């Protein structure tokens, strides 16, 4: 079991994580970590297959097919085999396209969309990777990327600094996962992370501009991370003190504003996967408590859109800047990316259609009169009392009805958080909803078997038995 001892307490955190990736075994994982990891896998497979029909996926796939190369790993659904780093890129792009993938709220992070496509591509490339080893690699990657996010600028709203942390930290995370599955020693894992650090990037301007690169970021990261591990396998060296060195990640990218305790405290005994949330709605996680609040109002008061005179959404500063302003864009999205990052749109979907489903966050949906009419009745205001720095911010939704009745609902923590978790059965239902949106219809028997195999993932002798279910003729 890897732990921080006195002799390593002053080592660069990179070395501590490297030892974790090299030494931790399946038997070291607590049962709740294994449980959430299996949920993450089924959830990711569903959102990736559902995202296969989204704009940008086919274009990236066409590009990697044009490049060609060794048939090392499979593109989900189509089963086309391409170099492992390219397969992982396409699959990660699918997995992030619906903005429906898992999230760690406090870390401002989507861990599964980095860890799982990397591990799947490498398991197929290497061959013979057991379910236990696969779960361990995903759990370690999830822990690593979430700790990086948790440590970043504690007590501050990280959105204001412009980084998209999933992409930024995804390079090093994917590199470490790939290096472990390649069987590299500590020196090799160190080099892989260092090479990944040299590529690390990812910004939030894509959200402000409604650009497709938002969904591309994790794909860039896993491609770069696998590339890094393969280079390290061939003896190419990377920086060793990537996190805390003079020119390391935290000094350079964050001007030294980080928490070492959040980064490495209880490393090897506490795994951040247990704090991962599975999304019940296909949009930015910050919108979810507002969807929950609107759903409660609809259920409790039988609210009909034609009876609504006006609505008020109140939120904290971090939520307002990302999801509430400018209200004219949030209420009339320029494109589907805008709709995925809009408080008015998420609330309008519930009021108008009594749901917040995949079909409500598409290019077709943003032109729908029923949604636009409701969204036009919504105002968004900042309430400093709702500010939160370390968790997702609460939501308050007020509906004023024709005739003067006023109904208000506040939600502090949305559905899907560790304190309000989705069950495996809930995730199975989400999986089946997602695959109905896929570019290619998955055979019913394969869908059933994917659910069943995911539930007993630790018993697989070779993860390629799972991968064959994600592809079909």
Question: Does residue 167 contact residue 96 with C-beta atoms inside 8 Å?
Answer: no
- pLDDT tops 70 at residue 461: yes
Which residues are CB-contacts of 39 (< 8 A; sequence separation ≥ 6)? 278, 422, 424, 427
Statement: residue 149 has pLDDT above 70: yes
Please tell me whether residues 160 and 192 are part of one structural domain. yes
Are residues 35 and 110 part of one domain? Answer: yes
Residues 299 and 270 in one domain: no
Q: How high does pLDDT run on average in the chain?
A: 95
Contact indicator for 288, 417 with CB cutoff of 8 Å: no
223 pLDDT exceeds 90?
Answer: yes
453 in any annotated domain:
yes
Q: Which two tokens stand for residue 149?
A: 């996010």
Specify whether 261 is located in the same domain as 152: yes
Q: What is the mean pLDDT of residues 391-402?
A: 94
Both 449 and 364 in a single domain? Answer: no
Task: Report the alpha-carbon distance of residue 298 to residue 349 in Å, rounded.
Answer: 11
Tens of pLDDT, residues 310-349: 999 999 999 999 999 999 999 999 998 899 999 999 999 9
* Same domain for 360 and 293: yes
CA distance 314 to 295: 16
Task: Indicate the pLDDT class of residue 412, thresholds 50, 70 and 90.
Answer: very high
Asked if 134 and 148 sit in the same domain, the reply is yes
Q: Which residues pair with 267 in a beta bridge?
A: 270
What is the token pair recorded at 307?
């009876």
> 85-140, pLDDT tens digit by residue?
999 999 999 999 999 999 999 999 999 999 999 999 999 999 999 999 999 999 99
Note whether 145 and 276 are within 8 A (CB): no
What pLDDT score was predicted for residue 388?
87
* Pairwise CA distance, residues 90 & 57, whole Å: 7
Shared domain check, 259 and 195: yes
- In this structure, the answer to whether residues 268 and 290 fall within a common structural domain is no
According to DSSP, the β-strands at 395-401 and 406-411 are antiparallel
Average pLDDT over residues 344-356: 97
What CATH number is associated with residue 395?
3.30.1330.120
pLDDT digits (tens, 9 = 90+) for 37-46: 999 999 999 9
| Cβ-based neighbour number of residue 326 at 10 Å | 9
Secondary structure (DSSP) of 392-425: PPPEEEEEEETTS-EEEEEESS-TTSTTSPPPHH
From residue 257, give the alpha-carbon distance in Å to each of 45, 114, 305, 356: 35, 24, 46, 37
- Could you tell me the residue range of the domain that residue 293 belongs to? 285-411
Give pLDDT, residue 157. 85
Percent of the chain's residues with pLDDT above 70: 98
pLDDT at site 392: 84
424 in any annotated domain: no
Residue 147, CA atoms < 13 Å, CB-side half-sphere = 26
CATH of the domain at 25: 1.10.4100.10
Q: Which 8-state DSSP code applies to residue 277?
A: B
| Tens digit of each residue's pLDDT (9 = 90 or more) over 268-304 | 999 999 999 999 999 999 999 999 999 999 999 999 9
Residue 1 has pLDDT above 60, yes or no: no
Residues 13, 157 share a domain = yes
Q: What is the rounded average pLDDT of the residues 156-175?
A: 95
Burial class (CB in 10 A: 0-12, 13-18, 19+), 311: buried
Q: What is the reported pLDDT for 7?
A: 36
Of 169, 196, 179, nearest to 20 by C-alpha is 179
DSSP category for residue 323: I
Domain-located, residue 388 = yes
Residues 272 and 307 in one domain: no
Q: Tell me, what's the pLDDT at 37?
A: 98
Q: Which two tokens stand for residue 228?
A: 């890094």
pLDDT tens-digit readout, 79-92: 999 999 999 999 99
Q: Between 389 and 135, where is the model more confident?
A: 135
Residue 100: strand, helix, or coil: coil
Domain boundary among 379, 411, 443: 411
Give me the number of domains the chain comprises. 2
Q: Torsion angle of alpha carbons 231, 235, 237, 240, nearest 10°?
A: 100
Q: Are residues 407 and 449 in the same domain?
A: no
Which pLDDT score is estimated for 391? 72
Whether residue 24 lies inside any domain: the answer is yes
**pLDDT level of residue 163 (50, 70, 90 thresholds):** very high
Q: According to the model, what pLDDT value does residue 390 have?
A: 65
Q: What is the pLDDT of residue 155?
A: 87
| CA 391 to centroid of chain Cα atoms | 16
421 within domain boundaries: no
pLDDT surpasses 70 at 2 = no
């Amino acid at each position: 079991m890897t732990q921080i001892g006195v002799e390593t307490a002053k080592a660069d955190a990179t070395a501590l994580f490297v030892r974790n990736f090299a030494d931790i075994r399946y038997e070291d994982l607590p049962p709740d970590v294994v449980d959430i990891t299996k949920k993450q896998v089924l959830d990711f497979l569903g959102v990736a297959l559902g995202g296969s029909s989204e704009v940008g996926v086919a274009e990236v796939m066409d590009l990697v097919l044009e490049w060609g190369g060794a048939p090392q790993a499979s593109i989900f659904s189509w089963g086309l085999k391409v170099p492992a780093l390219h397969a992982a890129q396409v699959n990660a792009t699918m997995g992030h396209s619906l903005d429906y993938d898992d999230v760690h709220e406090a870390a401002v992070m989507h861990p599964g969309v980095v860890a799982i496509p990397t591990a799947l591509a490498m398991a197929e490339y290497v061959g013979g990777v057991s379910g236990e080893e696969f779960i361990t690699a995903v759990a370690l990657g999830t822990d690593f990327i979430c700790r990086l996010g948790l440590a970043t600028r504690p007590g501050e709203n990280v959105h204001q600094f412009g980084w998209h942390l999933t992409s930024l930290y995804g390079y090093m995370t994917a590199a470490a996962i790939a290096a472990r599955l390649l069987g590299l020693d500590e020196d090799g894992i160190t080099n892989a992370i260092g090479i990944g650090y040299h590529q690390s990037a990812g910004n939030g301007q894509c959200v402000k501009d409604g650009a497709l690169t938002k969904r591309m970021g994790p794909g860039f990261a896993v491609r770069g991370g696998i590339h890094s591990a393969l280079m390290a396998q061939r003896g190419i060296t990377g920086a060793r003190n990537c996190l805390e060195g003079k020119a390391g990640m935290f000094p350079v990218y964050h001007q030294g504003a980080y928490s070492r305790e959040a980064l490495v405290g209880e490393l090897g005994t506490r795994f951040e996967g247990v704090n991962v949330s599975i999304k019940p709605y296909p949009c930015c996680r910050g919108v979810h408590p507002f969807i929950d609040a609107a759903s409660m109002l609809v259920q409790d008061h039988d609210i009909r859109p034609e009876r609504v005179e006006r609505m008020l959404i109140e939120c904290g500063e971090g939520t307002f800047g990302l999801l509430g302003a400018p209200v004219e864009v949030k209420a009339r999205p320029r494109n589907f990316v805008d709709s995925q990052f809009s408080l008015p749109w998420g609330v309008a979907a519930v009021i108008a259609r009594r749901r917040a489903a995949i079909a409500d966050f598409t290019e077709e949906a943003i032109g729908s009169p029923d949604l636009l009419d409701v969204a036009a009745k919504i105002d968004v205001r900042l309430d400093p009392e709702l500010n939160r720095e370390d968790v997702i911010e609460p939501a308050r939704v007020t509906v004023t009805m024709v005739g003067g009745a006023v109904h208000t609902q506040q939600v502090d923590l949305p559905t899907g958080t560790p304190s309000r978790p989705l069950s495996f059965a809930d995730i199975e239902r989400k999986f089946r909803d997602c695959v109905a949106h896929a570019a290619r219809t998955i055979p019913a028997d394969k869908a059933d078997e994917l659910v069943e195999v995911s539930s007993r993932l630790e018993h697989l002798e070779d993860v390629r038995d799972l991968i064959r279910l994600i592809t079909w003729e």
